[in-house]
Amino acid sequence: MGYVDEVLAKVKEKNASEPEFLQAVEEVLESLRPVIDANEELYRKNAILERITEPDRQIMFRVPWVDDNGQVQVNRGYRVQFNNAIGPYKGG
């Protein structure tokens, strides 16, 4: 099993309930596979894939709102920020 496969297995284990995130990670890692495989030891030694697949921070917040029937509803909102190495986190 190569480095990409090992990291992908760990990400799937840690985030089993997040299919959209898993799909995004898998697509990115598959697109990077030729580059990573050519320099696998360098990427492994520096834990590059582990660093880009684990967020810097996760923020969970409450979102109260009133529905069409006048009832107050409360939902959770999430903000996940991965890397601020080249500047502030980008908004969506």
Average pLDDT over residues 2-14: 96
> Is residue 88 over pLDDT 90?
no
Q: Report yes or no on 86 lying in a domain.
A: no
pLDDT for 82: 85
**Structure pTM?**
0.75
> Is residue 85 over pLDDT 90?
no
CA distance 37 to 51: 17
> Is residue 53 over pLDDT 80?
yes
pLDDT for 89: 79
Average pLDDT over residues 31-39: 96
Q: Report yes or no on 88 lying in a domain.
A: no
3-state secondary structure (DSSP) of residue 53 = helix
Q: Report yes or no on 31 lying in a domain.
A: yes
76 backbone dihedrals φ, ψ, rounded to 5°: -105, 140
Q: Report yes or no on 89 lying in a domain.
A: no
pLDDT for 92: 59
> Is residue 91 over pLDDT 70?
no
Q: Report yes or no on 75 lying in a domain.
A: yes
Domain range holding 17? 3-81
Please give the tally of structural domains in the chain.
1
Q: Report yes or no on 51 lying in a domain.
A: yes
Q: Report yes or no on 24 lying in a domain.
A: yes
